[in-house]
Chain A
Amino acid sequence: MSRIARRRFDALVIGAGGGGLRAALQLSQAEAHVAVVSKVFPTRSHTVAAQGGINAALANVSPDNWHWHMYDTVKGSDYLGDQDAIEYMCRAAARLVVELEHFGVPFSRLDGGRIYQRAFGGQSQNYGGEQASRTCAAADRTGHAMLHALYQQNLKARTHFFDEYFVLDLVMDTDGYCLGAVAIEIETGEPLLIEAKATLLATGGAGRIYRTTTNAHINTGDGMAMALRAGIPLQDMEFVQFHPTGIAGIGILISEGVRGEGGYLINGSGERFMERYAPHAKDLASRDVVARAIYTEVEEGRGCGPKKDHILIKVDHLGEEVIKKRLPGIRELSRRFAGVDPIEGPIPVYPTAHYSMGGIPTNRFGQVVAPVQTGPEEPVPGLYAAGECACVSVHGANRLGGNSLLDIVVFGRAAGNHILEILKEYRYHRPTPNAAVDAVLERLRRWDRKGDGESVDVLRDEMQRLMEKHCGVFRTGKVMAEGIKKLEALARRLPDTVLRDHSRVFNTARIEALELENLMDVALATIHSAAARQESRGAHTRLDFPKRDDMQWLKHTLYNRDGRRLDYKPVRMKPLTVDPFPPKERVY
């Protein structure tokens, strides 16, 4: 084996967003020896950009309980969410949000001193009744406030951090155990083997498979691609959430909290068009519903601006005080990137790629689960996943706003707890086979090749355009089939690309190349899964199959990298303790 440095820990957490940090905290506080590896300094992780808030039925503003939250989440998922996991999440929500407050998160407050909660899309009282206000908020910077507080708590708990290390791949042995991972220290370019009895993937989403996205440049689906390369399938990758309101043309997020505070959408003739699409919930219908409505308005010629290519979100009627107090971050973004002060005028917006409902299949303990040959799924020993890179599945075919920040703390913590359990049994590290490490290092060596070849930028740009055109908000079999052909052709060009910088120290070009490999695997998973699903459900909208088809398609997709093979598995319709919510027509 190549002689590389190695370190040993009880647990390895890959990714330092909210999910990874919440898991690490659970482990550190229990005095497990835990390492967190992140390709950026932890507070630069993309959780920092979450705006609107985190859902929990605290009932501080409107009557509420976790059963209603659960109903809304199941309905929002278009019945594809696993109801055991959804029950677990919604029941845990209130306690974990209170815990975040105890960690120091500076939530906005109500007059009595309790946590401020705002209305958000898809929230109801009493199973589909009046609008609920369930989203706990720190102004419109909730993710920032949470990420910093979780990092601070980890500092206090003395969690060990490897900042600016990029993980190449998981190390698996022939028995299928995950033994840790190989990373490179970005500053020196040196590889490092980190051995661990348990490894948690918490690497976030893959919004960068699209050209216009709310996601940061770092959201390149690294953990998802690592899982694929380790022979683990990805679940439900066809379900990509397009956020209704990204700043037109550039995709920067304008929080759903803007509509929660009373903002609304208008088309080219000034009409409040959501009334036609969702008579009851209007602008606070589920995100898939609002995104389709905006897209339709523009397609049918009722857009705004000289090119009629976007619509507007009107906020000024809320008044200066509310905007400054509740939406200061949105005001800052809008002024900087749209050139509009929302106190004075409406913000131009358009749907933009935002969130991956699919991901690495896990159970509600965070254990990665995969079918064993042709048998039923079983946990992959030593491997966990949580947050956006995972698919528990609590979001099903469409995630509700405010449920992603909840997902990361609930399942980050759950994974931490389960790892603590298995650490009691695993007293020793399993031996790391040299071949497994060498296989990972080969991924790095491939990029040492010099000579002529295409550049990483060109391929990434083509991939993003392809995905936007062939696998966007509205999909058809024909367009996607064409997209698959083109994307597969593009993927075949990837092995011939070369780096134009072969230096070792802080070589960001090399990191971008490795990220492109990850993006390509995730893009292929997305479009292959999407082309196969012949129905419309949640965020997956087929013009050629406009109806949801529960007889054929009430099941999870599993995409395998080898041979692009698709399997399916049933949705877990049975909650833990309450009665199931059977599928019914989904109207807002």
Chain B
Amino acid sequence: MKFSIYRYNPETDRAPRMQDYSLPDDCGAVMLLDALMLLKQQDATLSFRRSCREGVCGSDAMNINGRNGLACILPIADLGQPIALRPLPGLPVVRDLIVDLTQFYNQYRAAKPWLINNDPEPEMERLQSPEERDCLDGLYECILCACCTTACPSFWWNPDRFLGPAALLQSWRFLADSRDQATAERLDDLEDPYKLFRCHTIMNCTDVCPKELNPSKAIGRIKQMLARRVL
């Protein structure tokens, strides 16, 4: 197996470079992360994030053969070689495949991703019908891996003003929750030429989401809701 991997160590490198690596075909690696871990045994300086190795923690998002994805759930057999690995695009690189996600997390916080309900708390659970709960499917499963936001040209152009698909998916997750009472406040926050409306439905987000979620559709629903409010 052949790899071409983006390398950059700010302590020693003036500019990033691509470095070739290889592994024997019978090395036992099935998923891309398995291979990366074997490569790290060859070269301890190769750096990347990883944790759960099953696609639920969102640590090992990277750009794989030009497409954002999670290394731990991509079978090597499905990838053309040499496998080109780069850090997620559009964010500052800390080192090798590790990007600085501060901006991404700021966008998440800006979406006020918490349930707002000002009624007195009942002694039991707040009731929610199975149909109301179904509205949250495809939204709450987001793992904050940043594959979608960093694949979005609107984010590349306006990283400081457009909230990006991941944060907007969270906005919709709470707008869609029958228990949340802050609909007006949430919509007010988004009524702005940039935060939401920079989305031009390019749909890279939906295309790359490793959890098969659909941020593009969620953004469309928010736009509809805003439009309905005006009419």
Contact = CB atoms under 8 A, between A and B. Distances in A.
A145 B137 CA distance: 11
Interface residues of A, number: 57
A422 interface: no
A501 B44 contact: yes
Contacts of B128: 109, 113
Contacts of A115: 125
Interface in A6-61: 40-41, 43-46, 48-49
A504 interface: yes
B55 A44 contact: no
Contact of A144 (B12, B41, B56): B56
A107 interface: yes
Contact of B144 (A43, A101, A187, A507): A43
Counting contact residues on chain B (CB < 8 A from A), the size range is: 35 or more
Contacts of A141: 56, 140-141
B125 A44 contact: no
Contacts of B226: none
Contact of B101 (A41, A149, A501, A508): A41
Nearest to B48: A508
A507 B9 CA distance: 10
Contacts, number: 146
A104 B114 contact: yes
A98 B141 contact: no
A434 interface: no
B44 A499 contact: yes
B123 A98 contact: yes
A333 B9 contact: no
A105 to B, nearest CB: 9
A48 B136 contact: no
A252 interface: yes
Given A113-B127, A144-B141, A187 B94 contact: yes
Interface stretch (A79-87, A150-158, A261-269, A555-563): A150-158
Given A114-B125, A141-B141, A505 B95 contact: yes
Contact of A504 (B11, B48, B127, B174): B11
A508 B121 contact: no
A552 to B, nearest CB: 40
B84 to A, nearest CB: 21
B126 A101 contact: yes
B223 interface: no
A156 B56 CA distance: 23
Contact of B73 (A44, A108, A109, A336): A336
A501 B94 contact: no
B59 A40 contact: yes
A46 B11 contact: no
B56 A49 contact: yes
Among B40, B124, B136, chain A packs the most CB atoms within 10 A around the CB of B124
B121 A44 contact: no
Given A48-B57, A216-B52, A509 B44 contact: yes
B52 A109 contact: no
A247 B105 CA distance: 33
Contacts of A457: 41
Contacts of B12: 503
B55 A336 contact: yes
Given A44-B59, A501-B44, A106 B140 contact: yes
Contacts of B44: 455, 499-501, 509
A247 B13 CA distance: 42
Contacts of A106: 133, 136, 140, 177
Interface in A329-343: 329, 332-333, 336-337
A581 interface: no
Contacts of A111: 129-130
A149 B179 CA distance: 14
A302 B48 CA distance: 42
B113 interface: yes
Contacts of B9: 503, 505
Contacts of B183: none
A110 B56 CA distance: 26
Contacts of A138: 140
A218 interface: yes
A329 to B, nearest CB: 8
A127 interface: no
B103 interface: no
B104 to A, nearest CB: 10
B161 interface: no
Contacts of B112: 156
Contacts of B125: 97-98, 101-102, 107, 114-115
29 contacts: A40-B59, A41-B105, A46-B57, A48-B52, A48-B56, A98-B123, A102-B115, A103-B115, A104-B174, A104-B179, A109-B129, A112-B127, A114-B125, A145-B140, A148-B140, A152-B113, A152-B115, A153-B114, A155-B114, A217-B53, A329-B56, A332-B55, A500-B44, A505-B10, A506-B98, A507-B47, A508-B48, A508-B49, A509-B40
Given A43-B144, A107-B133, 19 more contacts: A40-B49, A44-B51, A46-B52, A106-B140, A109-B128, A111-B129, A115-B125, A148-B140, A152-B114, A156-B112, A187-B94, A216-B53, A217-B50, A217-B51, A217-B53, A253-B54, A455-B41, A501-B44, A508-B40
